[in-house]
Structure 1
């Protein structure tokens, strides 16, 4: 098997000079060299060019890309792993296909010959790939079910660009780099955009579980899978715990496959502890990694140490200082492509850096909360669902009596407003708009999420919120930072919870086994109780705490932020007086405005890197 955690790039046009196109593809791939420092490959003809940067994990001496079928009419570049490639290869052989390699990449070529655009429905794994059909003049791209691996595209006339990261487009002469300023208000409210658009005008993200087909200058997107919650009744909690454990064990076994050493992230929480526990079945002394701070109340290191001791695994610790945190942010915004003000990405960056010094592959626990009901928002949704049984006029009256109570205020709203993560940074659009230089003429951010909620009107509120998170929050926040921070250090990050078989179990869980008003991940914790020491199975969810609020009150870091808030980028987009007042109020302890301050600060640093300096920071 050839696992290729890497970067892919390419483009199409009405006519290309192959030699020149090959050089352009090489320049594009060079900008994402960090995704694949172990090798490169390129292909170009008069209509298309493809490029590939390789991080060798399996079959480290073979499996070069781009890869061709027997007659050279199909060419593919691929980022990811297909876990069921062996049964697929056997099936394709029965259909008469001949294989030249022991590679999951080759399965894509013959699978496309056999099944065409239905190919992704057959795949179990994490992937983004682009397949050029020379005979038909068709470019076919696909992204995995969860959006674990990224893929972006940009069209200008008959020219279509695609890449694993947006920054690769900077090397193509057809790319016009412009800020998508109309979406800045949405981004400020949510810290990501919940749809296909990005903060680069004209650049789109291929959504999870979608294919893209380009032919004769026309782009067509098609969804190939749509997970649906279908509750299976009549099973006990014990039975569900067994099913979850079995599915995770099967997934973890597939994710362990590599010709290099595999490590694990370990925070001490139930999700990462379960992943480590399954990994130790075949790799007892698996190297584990954790990150924290000198400020112990924010650090997960004590919990990670206890978990490592209970599981009998070695632990490598990383401690992030305030100075390192701020110094790294500029590079982090470069790697992210789009600004992301979630402070958790910074410790993740350092965690990945440390892990890469010892291993090439790590397993992590992302996705467990979305699948099994772990977020406090889901528990709040259980409460809100009961609140909805009261007459709407009564709810509105109570919300008016206590306007400072966010739960009551949201309880009087329709579901798409109440449940959307559009108040993640700012409670209301009005609160946000007072910082903007130009008054936005855009819908309220929650309306961007309404189409998702409209598709699941029949589901109960917590389940609907879970489904929307799987389409938006998970790929555009959680998985984006996981991919970028790991790939920044040429580290492959695998996520065993995000697997078709684990998903199938999660979609059948009754709501009462996912979350109640007081408890989350009920069935998952029951599974953990059968496999982990009791202290680990019952550890409360901590998130990824960061002492940033405290650091922003210290003179050195207050001054750093103040300089940005009074600089030319801030002056262009924001009311600098309002920004400084926000910062001063936070420093004085009048409010905790960390999330808002960091959002503005990250946008400014990102804009400086991509639009002012127009080059990557010194890394």
Structure 2
């Protein structure tokens, strides 16, 4: 794994500048560095040596020397591609996969991606035309950021590298704060730095003569085979996943594996007999500590296991360092657990495999059950009555079952913005010093829902999470935390061949009344004990909720909430009210509190010029007792937002790099019947009728050519657990309602942080 950076144009002492830009990302590649400069461009590179340890340094060129490449990633089919390219008369001087990339571009140009299998972010400079070509992998596993400084391009693996350019003006993007408060991350391509953008997954970009042009080359489209049986699905998953894991283990150094008690990492680890696995946990009971589970599984599958119990003091002390490496605030506390597990892994190996992507591709999150569970309720209970019930529930304390009835009010497009939901528009307006920046987060999801408009609701949720939550949260923390410890992290579920199989599964083989990731779990059960294959998802759960009821950490957060930084952005009286409510166990506000705390820590580092080590909280007194662990209710899934202006299917578009340009871009008009805007929350429920939903249809929704578009109608099987007649008896209705609610609320549910 590596880090890349570069800029075009004349600049005083540009050799020193490119070195500074490269040095600040040394953690991405501590083994060596490399540079290329001519009169037009300066390119920098840091290397973590994985393949061809002796000759794989960069920048690297083709045999003619007119193409110069810096590259971050791994191409898992590089040996086959090298043989194919040699047959086409290309000549190689190394055995590295990076040289295969530059020759693939020379041979196939923009069509190179249909040949590549792997994760990557790279820059190729053509000396003859002075064009710069940037590209990012299919799912966004590896990052790539860019900006224009005047008319000159500046790009890097991490934003902190761009900040080293002397002509870049660092400015805070308050639109990103608005989005972050709802999502717990910033939806790409937007960033917290004005005029700095992420190149989106599955996109490439040309920079020519001061103009940036982007194009999408890959989209995760679901095309279910309705004739597929369960046995066929399980066989296909097992075969393609075994092939992917073996491909992802290719390296000239030792490869290890992360291991929690869940099915995803356990399935990966089942192919690691005799090798090393790694786990972390917290000393707050089984809910926050999977080490014993992981040790037991390691013995059964024959791997050498390493683990670490993270203390409360270690966790809180690491928050500033983690947020520095993240570049942008991420309110997912599991990123800090991930920092520690990558740290212990890096002491033993250079490469690890992990289970990211399984939930998004195969339908693993418990919230994907919502459409099936809500279907009967939304069908039987009129929209105005659901709104009334939801309005009453919002006035109730944080009791079990309340959020179910709140979430069930609206159709999917109005309530689901992704796997995490923090603040809605009304809450943001109350919280922010500048309420004008607060927007409805569901607006950011409109383009995604337009793209997925023909899918059923479960598949829409997967599509949204693949393109937003997975990229903005899951893969961001995986890359940054592993690279912070100079460790390469590979994700065999996020392989384009694996996705082909996942996309072909009928919805009922992804999510049904029996389980999530249904067919994938059946495949994993052939390699794992049944209790592991069927175990609910936890990941690396973090006890933030418990800590915030501890007097010491209550005061750590309170100090931050009363800081001048907090006063600058927020109504601190409301912040303290959230904190006190949680501390006094009146309401579980832990995730909302953590979201604000993380942002304030990050802001002080990047805009307050405070070194991460100076933000270390005071150590907890030895006499202070930890608060007891207790259950938390999942309070998620509602709206998300979109700051995207880059993609348009197979058509090239210009990316708005200037703030003024971005404001001028008109929002894409949705095809088909328009979705009605959700009315603002009022003291009394509105008597609105539910908008009619279009029947689900699968299609190639963004084919590059209309002639290639194919459409297949899907007959959804009836999954409503109760059937009622029109003249229903009220007693029967509420008896059935009570039965259904009990069945759903008594089930074991966890959110993305592992909280119940």
For the aligned pair, the TM-score class normalised by the smaller chain equals over 0.9
Describe the superposition over 1:153-175 as per-residue Cα deviations: whole angstroms up to 9, x where unpaired.
11122111110000001210121
Instruction: Give the superposition deviation at 1:397.
Output: 5.1
Q: Quick one: which of 243, 267, 280 aligns to 2:260?
A: 267
User: Which ranges in structure 1 are unaligned for 5 or more consecutive residues?
Assistant: none
RMSD (Å), alpha carbons: 1.8
1:420 aligns with 2:412: no
The aligned residue for residue 358 of structure 2 is 368
Q: Residue 325 of structure 1: which of 294, 315, 338 is its match?
A: 315
| Alignment partner of 2:280 out of 281, 291, 295 | 291
Matches of 1:591 and 1:394, distance apart in 2: 26
Question: Is the Cα–Cα contact under 8 Å of residues 274 and 532 in structure 1 kept in the other structure?
Answer: yes
Give the superposition deviation at 1:384: 3.2
Residues 121, 144 of structure 2: 8 Å contact kept: yes
Contact map agreement 1:334 1:617 (CA 8 A) in 2? no
Secondary structure of the residue that 2:235 maps to in structure 1? helix
Does residue 248 of structure 2 align to residue 255 of structure 1?
yes
Q: Answer yes or no: is the 8 Å Cα contact 1:194–1:449 preserved in 2.
A: no
Q: Is residue 2:248 matched to residue 1:239?
A: no
| Partner-residue secondary structure (3-state), 2:525 | helix
Alpha-carbon distance in 2 for matches of 1:62, 1:183: 42
Secondary structure of 2:215's match? strand
**Within-5 A mapping of 1:85-164:** 85-164=78-157
Paired residue for 1:593, among 573, 589, 594?
589
Q: Separation in 2 of the partners of 1:222 and 1:22?
A: 31
Give the C-alpha shift of residue 388 in structure 1: 4.7
- 402-411 vs 316-325, greater mean Cα deviation: 402-411
CA gap of 1:457–1:395, structure 2 versus 1, over 3 A, is farther
The 1:331/1:423 distance shift into structure 2, 3 A limit, reads closer
CA deviations 1:295-335 (Å, max 9, x no partner) are 12321112212211221222111111111111000000000
**Are 2:496 and 1:500 aligned?**
yes
Secondary structure of the equivalent of 1:8? strand
Moved more, 414-423 or 47-56: 414-423
Q: C-alpha separation between the residues in 2 aligned to 1:124 and 1:68?
A: 21
**Aligned counterparts of 1:99 and 1:385: Cα–Cα separation in 2:** 58
Between 1:481-490 and 1:89-98, the stretch displaced more is: 89-98
C-alpha change, 1:293 and 1:403, in structure 2 (3 Å) is closer
Look up the match of 2:17: 24
Q: Distance in 2 between matches of 1:412 and 1:548?
A: 29
Contact 2:51 2:96 (C-alpha < 8 Å) held by counterparts: no
Deviation at 1:398, TM superposition (A): 4.8
Distance in 1 separating the partners of 2:304 and 2:437: 54
> Equivalent residue of 2:213, what SS?
strand
The more displaced of 407-416 and 594-603 is: 407-416
Residue in structure 1 matched with residue 710 of structure 2 by the alignment = none
Unaligned runs of 5+ in 2: 396-401, 617-756
Question: Which of 222, 234, 238 is the equivalent residue of 1:229?
Answer: 222
Give me the whole-angstrom Cα distance separating, in 2, the residues matched to 1:518 and 1:584.
40
Matched residue SS, 1:303: helix
| Residues 336-385 of structure 1 deviation map (CA, whole Å, 9 limit, x = unaligned) | 00001111111111111111111111111111111111101111132234
Tell me the CA shift for residue 182 of structure 1. 2.5
Find 1:563's aligned residue among 531, 549, 559.
Answer: 559
Q: Give the 4+ runs in structure 1 shifted more than 3 A.
A: 384-412, 614-619
- Would you say how many aligned residue pairs link Structure 1 and Structure 2? 607
With over 3 angstroms needed to count, the CA separation of the structure-2 counterparts of 1:69 and 1:617, relative to structure 1, is farther
Whether 1:439 aligns to 2:435 is yes
Q: Does 1:573 align with 2:573?
A: no
In the superposition, the TM-score normalised over structure 1's length comes to: 0.95
Structure number with greater Rg is: 2
The structural deviation recorded for 1:387 is 4.4
Greater helix fraction, Structure 1 or Structure 2: 1
Distance 2:384 2:573 in 1: 40
Q: 2:248·2:492 contact (CA, 8 Å) conserved in 1?
A: yes
Structure 2 counterpart of 1:353: 343
The structural deviation recorded for 1:518 is 5.0
Question: 1:455 aligns to what?
Answer: 451
> TM-score if structure 2 supplies the norm length?
0.78
Shift in CA distance, 518/444, structure 1 to aligned 2, threshold 3 Å: farther
Alpha-carbon distance between aligned partners in 1 of 2:282 and 2:407, rounded to the nearest angstrom:
35
1:514 match: 510
1:160-179 equivalences in 2 (<5 Å): 160-179=153-172
Q: What SS class does the counterpart of residue 175 from structure 2 fall into?
A: helix
Say whether the 8 Å CA contact 2:260–2:539 is kept in structure 1.
no
Corresponding residue number in structure 2 for 1:430: 426
**Deviation at 1:108?**
1.7
Which moved further from structure 2: 184-193 or 488-497? 184-193
